[in-house]
Amino acid sequence: MLSESVEDYLTAILRLETGGRAATTSVLAALLAVAPPSVTEMVKRLDADGLVVHLPYRGAQLTDRGRRRARAVLRRHRLVETFLVEVLGMPADRVHAEAHRLEHALSDEVIERLDAWLGRPARDPHGQLIPGPALRRRT
């Protein structure tokens, strides 16, 4: 199991890659509100663990393994947001922080049951695609 911090880095890098931006130290530091030296250390660790490839002066890029893990966290987050809005009636503009806390705490079994119970939604309350169990877009 990956730490919450590692999962946050992986999802930040995924968001940057998806948006066509390089995951450089300075961009990650600003996005995650941490000091650049902390980013450098974490990127080295992620590289050593095979989750990213660090390209000096060009940033970090997810490996296939890192991308799968980041999509799994993203899936958790978006399913939890959907649950909070559709079942608990929370306003969509207030669920992000709560979903962020819960995405790290729920087991894979709970997430799979939640997905089934929600009817396998394709999109979260913000309209973002929810990766399916195979961590690809739902059709």
Residue 128 lies in a domain: no
Q: Which segments of 13-124 are extended strands (E)?
A: 52-55, 59-62
Q: In the prediction, which pLDDT does 132 show? A: 83
% residues pLDDT > 90 (the chain): 82
Q: What is the mean pLDDT of the chain?
A: 92
pLDDT for the residue numbered 138? 46
Region 97-114 average pLDDT: 92
55 phi and psi, to 5 degrees? -110, 110
**pLDDT confidence bin for 133, thresholds 50/70/90:** confident
CATH number at residue 90: 1.10.60.10
- Give the pairing type, strands 59-62 and 52-55: antiparallel
Residue 50 pLDDT > 80: yes
- Name the band, by pLDDT with cuts 50, 70 and 90, for residue 136: low
Query: Hunting for tokens 């940033």 — which residue is that?
Result: 59
* pLDDT tens digit sequence for 12-32: 999 999 999 999 999 999 999
Q: What is the pTM of this model?
A: 0.88
Nearest Cα to Cα of residue 129 among 88, 90, 66, 71:
71
Residue 9 lies in a domain: yes
The range of the structural domain enclosing residue 23 comes to: 4-62
> Are 18 and 52 found together in one domain?
yes
pLDDT at 139 over 80: no
Whether residue 112 sits in one domain with residue 86: yes
The number of folded domains in the chain is 2
Burial of 26 (0-12, 13-18, 19+ CB in 10 A): exposed
pLDDT at 135 over 70: no
